[in-house]
A and B are shown apart, each in its own frame.
Chain A
């Protein structure tokens, strides 16, 4: 990073710093990462706020994401169009939430969104099955999957409606000892 960068104006950088958990250096680094994905698409000058979107195929191939079983969901949740195509803003947004500095509640909110595969604002049985199969690469038998999902709902569902609402999820996840350390991507 040079001090004479012209990618963003000073105001833009300040605004990004206010809106994310990143410092100036990190924002510029993230921009570089973003640009490296498709140097021909992304201009080097963002002062005019160009309308550039990178397709999911590029985003998902980042080394940080490519081994993540939930990469598609992450991209979908954080992209504005819901299909995983990301603008720079979405990109920054994603890594801001996944950064070390983001508070637990914010992370929990987005984790909920990620695990809510069908976007119905509830994590229901089918979402759980999908999550579990992604986590174990379909190694568990059907009975086992069913049992685990039942157990999860049994444990975390406070209002007994057979699915997890955001409140249920947060109630459960804020107590998890490992949540903060695992829901985190260092950039």
Chain B
């Protein structure tokens, strides 16, 4: 019957209203038309509409089909007119209202009510618009019409009566309706409907909100409310524009997509990681250059003005030689790239820029920012991670429905994928059939233990080798007659280890027979250990050097002291000296910075050369020698290279570690790194597309992104340690760098507090630095960590419990949607729509037919348009 039909697209409010109506109407026959009237034109919203309709009914009292058509036309006319101006409208309305008698006038009396009147009218119009389009349907219903015409008057009275008593109720309903529509607008993209319907619903909802949102405020607050609404709209618009802008700024989307479709998501994850790193380094670069390098260049003393900014006389002859410059000596060493160049003037330039303070702050801020970004990204990734793969109850189902990677867009990769899926199915079948043989497990365990033994051995061996070489290099340091090899022994050995060990590990890992994704993690962990050993050996060697330099410094200070004593003793003025001739101490900070820059640059060279030789040359040889070779090179021995994910990721991570460690001593390093990342993005993209082949077992990168982040965090922490150690304990060089003349680097902060901030703040800080305060604070933090940790554990337990409960086999699973709450997806209703019986929801006796635009876009499912019933009837 028609009575129920409209309530399908209406919301609960319709029912509320109908019930409300029902209370006032006593006898059955009256009740039905009433509902028809209310519901048919949009239910709750239709109160005004109903009234209006009633009034028109009154005008053209007892008529049939033809007048009915006219009435529809009548209704349409004002609709169009109203598009322009509301005031005209209300005037239009006025004469009609007069006819209607006392009840209506009473309503018009109240000021507050007039607001609602406005919206009432709007609503009525809206309903009519739908009604007009639905004209055909209504014509069909004329029989019903005739029936209820006789009761019209009564119901009209009722509706008027209601209008009086339910002003507040109406406001409330309207508010709720608007809220509902807003929610719909926000979540419409989550609805599994056809685009056309979504567009339509969206438009109607927007119109509705536009029209009635302003009418919601009451009395004095109204203007303010309208203003708020407007600002909110603007804010949303701004947010969208900003979002558009932001995505427009994300580079290399296409490149990564290309790689992804050729090599699967695991290789692409490396490039995404690289892009992320580039973004982070760009920010670091901005800080360092904006706050340290550029101020120094613009406002600091120029080159050659003071000793620390001048190449010493002894080096001047060779200062421009290529080999010297490549070692970052000569002019490079006395440039803005390195720590030693910066002056210890407290303020520079007209702006009184506090360079030393800024230098320290940027150094610390680099770590702070990196730490924050890494942790935040990790948290976000963990959030997205969602499903946890520890449940094995769905092995086959998951294989069936999630093993195809929709990203694959390359036939070769697709072939590999087909093969790997087939293999994995076969493996699972065999597993299932054999139910795990014991001997197999033992053999596998034995092999894994063996592999780990080998790897530990080789790690130990490489560690010893490095130790040995470092020792030797310390011996060499005292000699001068060194060959090229002896000079660079340490670097060569380390690079060789880095080249040889990873493939060795990979070969050994074959024994273990892990899933490639797990194997990748093991491989990453092992190479990480290797690199870490190298890095820390390098650091210890460096610290030895620093200590000797610090001792040298003391000798020179003593010399200076004697010198000035001598001068004072004779009373003579010191002769003017060129800055190049001044005796100066060894600037250990610059030395450390140079080491790091050299290391970074050689790392870049090695990795680029590896790509060029290991991948490109190999590919060229395989490709072109294949024509005249005795076996098939492409399928046989050398073949094409695969992209080495673990090596590249680790290279990137360790490189970043170098940057973090070295950036404090060589501000230019960040710039070099940005260039490196930028070029390597293009270079590696080209190399991987041109010379590599997809992995034999294409596998997905599942959450390994967070694994990369974990490595990065570890490296960040490890590189934080030496830098903080030097800042906190070692005395800075006395004649170079922004902190020269201070006992410790962080004295800069104390100085600023003493000189620039009001005195009471200084005392405040001195209180705060009191150990009596710091120790309780640390304790408190530890307690807080402990507390939060236990809370999160409790939550996790609760989560597990809930999951278990959800998995309880029930006869009919209630909607189990762990993701719903967080994502706000509103699918339930539409899921119900997909139920097999389309007639199960209401007595519909005729086919849906061509459906007009949804008269009132509720968020209820529209008939016949939801995708749930898109299937043709079979």
**A residues neighboring B (CB under 8 Å):** 14-21, 23-26, 63-70, 80, 82, 89-90, 92-93, 96, 98, 103-106, 109-111, 113, 115, 119-122, 128, 131-132, 135-137, 139-140, 144, 147-148, 151-152, 155-156, 158-159, 166-187
| CB neighbors of A among B398-422 (8 A) | 398, 400-411, 413-414, 418, 421-422
Contact A152 B396 (CB under 8 A): yes
Give the docked Cα–Cα distance between A124 and B573 (Å).
Answer: 102
The one of A19, A111, A176 in contact with B202, judged by C-beta atoms closer than 8 angstroms, is: A19
The one of B189, B384, B406 in contact with A182, judged by C-beta atoms closer than 8 angstroms, is: B406
Contact A183 B872 (CB under 8 A): no
The one of A80, A136, A158 in contact with B422, judged by C-beta atoms closer than 8 angstroms, is: A136
Contact B809 A158 (CB under 8 A): yes
Contact A177 B198 (CB under 8 A): no
Contact B199 A172 (CB under 8 A): no
Give the docked Cα–Cα distance between A92 and B195 (Å).
Answer: 8
Given A82-B870, A103-B823, A181-B701, CB of A140 within 8 Å of CB of B425? yes
Interface of A is mostly: helix
Give the docked Cα–Cα distance between A26 and B260 (Å).
Answer: 18
Tell yes or no: B185 within 8 A of A by CB.
yes
Interface of B is mostly: helix
Query: Which B-chain residue is minimally distant from A92 (CB atoms)?
Result: B195
Contact B827 A106 (CB under 8 A): yes
CB distance from A181 to the nearest CB of B (A): 6
- Contact mask B185-202 → A, CB, 8 Å, 1/0? 100111010111011001
Contact A63 B261 (CB under 8 A): yes
Contact A104 B819 (CB under 8 A): yes
Contact B409 A182 (CB under 8 A): no
Give the docked Cα–Cα distance between A171 and B394 (Å).
Answer: 10
Contact B396 A119 (CB under 8 A): no
Give the docked Cα–Cα distance between A187 and B258 (Å).
Answer: 10
Give the docked Cα–Cα distance between A185 and B268 (Å).
Answer: 13
Contact A15 B203 (CB under 8 A): yes
Contact A148 B813 (CB under 8 A): no
Give the docked Cα–Cα distance between A159 and B831 (Å).
Answer: 17
Contact B818 A174 (CB under 8 A): yes
- Tell me the count of chain B residues lying within 8 A, CB to CB, of chain A: 87
Contact B422 A182 (CB under 8 A): no
Contact A178 B702 (CB under 8 A): yes
CB distance from B200 to the nearest CB of A (A): 10
Given A63-B409, A89-B196, A172-B397, CB of A137 within 8 Å of CB of B189? no
The one of A19, A109, A182 in contact with B827, judged by C-beta atoms closer than 8 angstroms, is: A109
**Stretch of B136-144, B242-250, B448-456, B842-850 lying at the A interface:** B242-250
Number of A-B contacts (CB under 8 A): 234
Q: Which residues of A contact B823 (CB under 8 A)?
A: 103-105
Given A63-B261, A67-B409, A103-B823, CB of A136 within 8 Å of CB of B871? no
CB distance from B586 to the nearest CB of A (A): 53
Contact A120 B871 (CB under 8 A): yes
CB distance from B153 to the nearest CB of A (A): 44
- In the assembled complex, 11 residue pairs joining A and B whose CB atoms fall closer than 8 Å, in A order, are A67-B408, A89-B199, A103-B825, A121-B834, A136-B418, A172-B397, A174-B386, A176-B387, A181-B700, A185-B407, A187-B257
Q: Which residues of B contact A137 (CB under 8 A)?
A: 418, 422
The one of B203, B410, B813 in contact with A159, judged by C-beta atoms closer than 8 angstroms, is: B813
Give the docked Cα–Cα distance between A158 and B393 (Å).
Answer: 12
Q: Which residues of A contact B815 (CB under 8 A)?
A: 167
| CB neighbors of A among B353-406 (8 A) | 384-389, 391, 393-398, 400-406
CB distance from B225 to the nearest CB of A (A): 24
Given A96-B189, A119-B871, CB of A186 within 8 Å of CB of B257? yes
- Contact mask B227-270 → A, CB, 8 Å, 1/0? 00000000000001001100110000100110011000100000
Contact B813 A171 (CB under 8 A): yes
Q: Which residues of B contact A98 (CB under 8 A)?
A: 406
Give the docked Cα–Cα distance between A169 and B405 (Å).
Answer: 18
Tell yes or no: B551 within 8 A of A by CB.
no
Q: Which residues of B contact A151 (CB under 8 A)?
A: 395-396, 432
| 5 closest A-B pairs by CB | A89-B195, A177-B389, A67-B414, A119-B871, A151-B396
Q: Which residues of A contact B432 (CB under 8 A)?
A: 147, 151
Tell yes or no: B478 within 8 A of A by CB.
no
Q: Which residues of A contact B240 (CB under 8 A)?
A: 14, 17
Give the docked Cα–Cα distance between A183 and B407 (Å).
Answer: 8
Tell yes or no: B437 within 8 A of A by CB.
no
Q: Which residues of A contact B825 (CB under 8 A)?
A: 103-106
Contact A182 B404 (CB under 8 A): yes
Q: Which residues of A contact B384 (CB under 8 A)?
A: 180
CB distance from A159 to the nearest CB of B (A): 6
CB distance from A145 to the nearest CB of B (A): 9
